[in-house]
Amino acid sequence: MPRVGFCGLGAMGGAMARNILAAGFPLTIATSSPEKAERFRGEGASVADTPAALAQRSDVIVTCVPDAGALDALIDGDGGFSRADLADKLFVDCSTIAPHDACRAAERIRSAGGRFVDAPVSGGTKGAAERTLTIMCGGQAADIEAATPLLKAMGKAITHFGPLGAGQAVKAANQLMVAVNMMGAFEAIALARANGVDPEAMRQALLTGAARSGVLEMHAKRYLDDALAGGFRIELLRKDLGIVASEGGRNGLSQPASALAHQLINAACNAGFEGQDSAALGRFYDLANGKARP
């Protein structure tokens, strides 16, 4: 069994690393938190002092960090991966970053002899805990094949979408559609209310027709139920739409609806909805429609 290294033991990464241990892989972690080091040691993991030391004693290295800057720091910071000989090491990055940032990171890893695949996940902390994550992969087919037993310890639907960055592109596309579909759902709800229609009755009726969506099923319901604590926080969707914008910018894509969603989600965060579920965009629409006071 390949020896696995794991960096980025947050809410997602921590659960994923535990499933790797549970599947029987020898695991090394690196963390700046003495508490996390202690806890994982107690569960059977080794602890390395630096990412470079972790890489030296691992065959496959999984990273799951908040953004491209954090990944860069793991690679090129003090004691970073690039300080080690990475020949025959396979890096599996489960962070959500821009496709071109994935390509940039891959280049740095390659220049130290290693291999790299992008493998962002979706399914939230629940999916991470229950091993039901969807994992979207980009990179060389042989590398993804080599990573598959490990990916299967973390998730369920594992798809190889194309070259490096392809997994990140599909993740970005997913977030883009969720955000755009939310605008549609909340504008539909406002139109219904203005005409004396109970939005929950409308939501249920339209779930069987052409306007049905995961957003109308889940996000609109959370908004209507006022169940916006916890969940996928709106500032994370803001970050993801920043990735969509930067990727669109690099490729000269016309993305009017994504840009609008990005701006409205920015505004919702600025208006005080940070920390709430992304469906709090509906609350921002309430403000914009004079149906609430800040």
Among 184, 200, 236, 246, binds its own copies (CB under 8 A): 184
Any idea which residues carry the catalytic annotation? 171
> 243 and 96 in contact (C-beta within 8 Å)?
yes
Half-sphere exposure of 51 (CA within 13 A, CB side): 24
* 22 part of the interface to its own copies, by CB under 8 A: no
CB of 60 to its own copies, least distance (A): 23
82 vs 213 by CB, closer to its own copies: 213
Q: 10 Å Cβ neighbour count for 93?
A: 31
24 vs 162 by CB, closer to its own copies: 162
CB of 253 to its own copies, least distance (A): 5
Among 74, 86, 188, 265, binds its own copies (CB under 8 A): 188
Pattern 54-93, binding to its own copies, x per CB under 8 A?
A: ----------------------------------------
Among 78, 209, 293, 294, binds its own copies (CB under 8 A): 209
The DSSP secondary-structure symbol of 146 reads H
Tokens of 261: 């969603």
Q: Which is it for strands 60-63 and 46-47: parallel, antiparallel or unpaired?
A: unpaired
Among 11, 205, 229, 292, binds its own copies (CB under 8 A): 205
CA distances from 127 to 77, 83, 154, 240, 283 (A): 31, 34, 9, 19, 27
Q: CA triplet 226, 229, 233: central angle to 5 degrees?
A: 115
Element (H, E) at 287: helix 281-288
CB of 42 to its own copies, least distance (A): 35
* 24, burial (CB in 10 Å: exposed 0-12, middle 13-18, buried 19+): exposed
CB of 269 to its own copies, least distance (A): 16
Site for its own copies in 129-168 (CB under 8 A): 134, 136, 138, 157, 159, 161-163, 165-166, 168
CB of 78 to its own copies, least distance (A): 32
